[in-house]
Amino acid sequence: MTIKIVETTPFDDQKPGTSGLRKKVKIFQQLGYMENFVQSIFDALGGVEGVSLVVGGDGRFYNDVAIQTILKMASANGVARVIVGQHGFLSTPAASCVIRKGEHTGGIILSASHNPGGPDDDFGIKYNASNGGPAAEKITDAIYAMTREISEYRIMDAPDIDLGTLGETTLGAMTVEIVDPVADYLELMEDLFDFDALKSLFKGGFRLCFDAMHAVTGPYAKAIFEDVLGAPAGTVINAEPKPDFGRGHPDPNPVYAKQLFDVMFGPDAPNMGAASDGDGDRNIILGRNTYVAPSDSLAVLAANAQLIPAYNQGLRGVARSMPTSCALDRVAAAMKIPCFETPTGWKYFGNLLDAGRATLCGEESAGTGSDHLREKDGIWAVLMWLNILAETGSSVNDILTSHWHSYGRNYYSRHDYEALDAGTAQELIAALRAKVSELPGEQFSDETVELADDFSYSDPVDGSVASAQGIRVTFKSGARVVYRLSGTGTEGATLRVYIERFVAGPDGLDEDTQEALAPLIAIARDLAEIRERTGRAEPSVIS
Ligand code: G6P
Ligand code: ZN
């Protein structure tokens, strides 16, 4: 076994996005592409001599190849120890859990989250720091800088490691430990929730349908819901992880999780439905004939967190990303706790959680989590809901309706225009940016603009500033429209338009969301000249 030092030249497209480097598999398969990025991570950390790392991914196509490369490079760079999930599996929250529990230096997570997988689809890699969370921007900037000047990488000339056998082995001087991907995570969940109450819930005939979408949560969900909590076999559907997610698109939304929606909106629906995404950090929640909007789910969890053992002392603060609806703010105001508004991207919650200023946080993009980890956590969110249902004896629908009666309802929807020409999309945003200062006071149908800006965030913990994070337009009525470009796509550009209107109740709380928002949707389209600029009359996905 020898260490090879391989000469290389930079690729110019290795800038990490909202959540690490995400590209088509074909791009990652270019000679030296993966190696350059991994070496740049190691170099940006100032070298990795003697450190311990966690490595795992969502099992998508290329996961196994990438892990072998990372192991050989880690060994050649002097890493002392690497913990790998068996078969290369670790959900993103489980990776965060393993890093924190073992007090490791950091971890490399392989996933393109909710994007499809397969030889013609997507792959991704990101670095998480010792707190278990996505690397802060100063680290991802440093990684990018290294990718621009890399001239060589180090890799071990060695046979592949067997990722299927639990236990310790060595690769050169480095120890490789293959662990059960579920064990540490399950233990943490047992600490947070009242598992006895959950067992009784299922014993009493409560029915859950959890759609793992052939992604990484399958083994976690089967172990936790079926084996430990006693939910009947078949509670978890599409449970077997597959490299191409069974040709599906592991994005838990009404379009791609249609099977689950059909179950929950069909005859004899179970009490609750839920799904997670490719890497297990997202979640959606459904009741009978009801889809809980992620922003509402976040607000409901905050309002009821005290019912759960881990949060019975109350929440210190909450946080949401800017485009997430303001339903959470209403709960925070009632609880008299701070509510932070951050840019899109879980990494922005890290400092608030580390500093103990926020306990619970979440995003419109189906992510919720708390200070138990530094990633959003799909199965955790399902356990939160189950525990709340077990404590209150209510249904998902009752909890949601009574929430709206207490706090009012923020009707909310996101319209995505996918695969736009990147230049066209950037021009659309630039045009909005150019006119924000003139918008206040302008009238659009019944709405008058109160405030308009390009969101800029100043981190209250370390003072770092993130600017140009999305155009916000708030109307005098309290309605709001937000525009931003997705930072996670791999094809052209995706324009996201977030539309929100508040109704205090008690009347008008049961309208259809798209109908309740129709006038505002029309304003949002006009204001950004979406049709004129993109040629699209309708969004590609509405959620
Ligand atoms: C990832 C990040 C989230 C983010 C989401 C959507 O899942 O972890 O924090 O909300 O992507 O990002 P996008 O830039 O595509 O709207
Ligand atoms: Zn994800």
Whose tokens are 């290329």? That residue is 62
Distance CA 143, CA 138 (A): 9
Ligand nearest to the CA of 496: 1
Closest by CA position to 283, among listed 219, 364, 345, 208: 364
**Atom 2 of ligand 1: nearest residue by CA position:** 345
409-542: CATH architecture: 2-Layer Sandwich (3.30)
- Tally the C-alpha atoms within 13 A of residue 159's C-alpha that lie toward its C-beta: 5
Q: Rounded to the nearest whole angstrom, what is the distance from the C-alpha of residue 16 to the centroid of ligand 1?
A: 12
Any ligand 1 atom below 6 A from CB of 496: yes
Are residues 45 and 106 in contact, defined by beta-carbon separation less than 8 angstroms?
A: yes
* Residue 302 neighbours by CB under 8 Å, 6+ apart: 315, 318, 328, 331, 332, 335, 360
Any ligand 1 atom below 6 A from CB of 346: yes
**CATH no., domain 185-407:** 3.40.120.10
Any ligand 1 atom below 6 A from CB of 19: yes
Tokens of 169: 């082995």
Task: Please report the pLDDT score of residue 137 as a whole number.
Answer: 87
**Digits of tens for pLDDT over the chain (543 positions)?**
799 999 999 999 999 987 899 999 999 999 999 999 999 999 999 999 999 999 999 999 999 999 999 999 999 999 999 999 999 999 999 999 999 999 999 999 999 999 999 999 999 999 999 999 999 889 999 999 999 999 999 999 999 999 999 999 999 999 999 999 999 999 999 999 999 999 999 999 999 999 999 999 999 999 999 999 999 999 999 999 999 999 999 999 888 999 999 999 999 999 999 999 999 999 999 999 999 999 999 999 999 999 999 999 999 999 999 999 999 999 999 999 999 999 999 989 999 999 999 999 999 999 999 999 999 999 999 999 999 999 999 999 999 999 999 999 999 999 999 999 999 999 999 999 999 999 999 999 999 999 999 999 999 999 999 999 999 999 999 999 999 999 877 779 999 999 999 999 899 999 999 999 999 999 999 999 999 999 999 999 898
Q: Rounded to the nearest whole angstrom, what is the distance from the C-alpha of residue 216 to the centroid of ligand 1?
A: 18
Single out the catalytic residue among 113, 325, 365, 543.
113
User: Where exactly does CATH 3.40.120.10 map onto the chain?
Assistant: 2-181, 185-407
Any ligand 1 atom below 6 A from CB of 295: no
Distances (CA, A) of 79 to 53, 76, 133, 275: 8, 8, 20, 36
Ligand nearest to the CA of 91: 2
Distance CA 540, CA 519 (A): 19
Q: Rounded to the nearest whole angstrom, what is the distance from the C-alpha of residue 484 to the centroid of ligand 2?
A: 19
The third-level CATH classification (topology) of the domain covering 2-181 is Alpha-D-Glucose-1,6-Bisphosphate; Chain A, domain 3 (3.40.120)
Q: Rounded to the nearest whole angstrom, what is the distance from the C-alpha of residue 348 to the centroid of ligand 1?
A: 11
What is the DSSP annotation of 20-66?
BEEEEHHHHTSTTHHHHHHHHHHHHTT--TT-EEEEEE---TTHHHH
* Residue 60 neighbours by CB under 8 Å, 6+ apart: 110, 111, 112, 117, 118, 122, 123, 243, 244, 245, 278
Are residues 198 and 390 in contact, defined by beta-carbon separation less than 8 angstroms?
A: yes
**Atom 13 of ligand 1: nearest residue by CA position:** 486
Distance CA 36, CA 162 (A): 24
Task: Please report the pLDDT score of residue 355 as a whole number.
Answer: 97
Q: Rounded to the nearest whole angstrom, what is the distance from the C-alpha of residue 204 to the centroid of ligand 1?
A: 37
Q: Is 113 in the active site? A: yes
Task: Please report the pLDDT score of residue 254 as a whole number.
Answer: 86
Ligand 1 pocket mutation, candidates 284, 321, 488, 495, criterion most atoms within 8 A of CB: 488
Instruction: Give the other-Cβ count within 10 Å of 131's Cβ.
Output: 18
Ligand nearest to the CA of 275: 2
Backbone dihedral region for residue 205 (phi beyond 0: left; psi -120 to 50: alpha; all else: beta): left
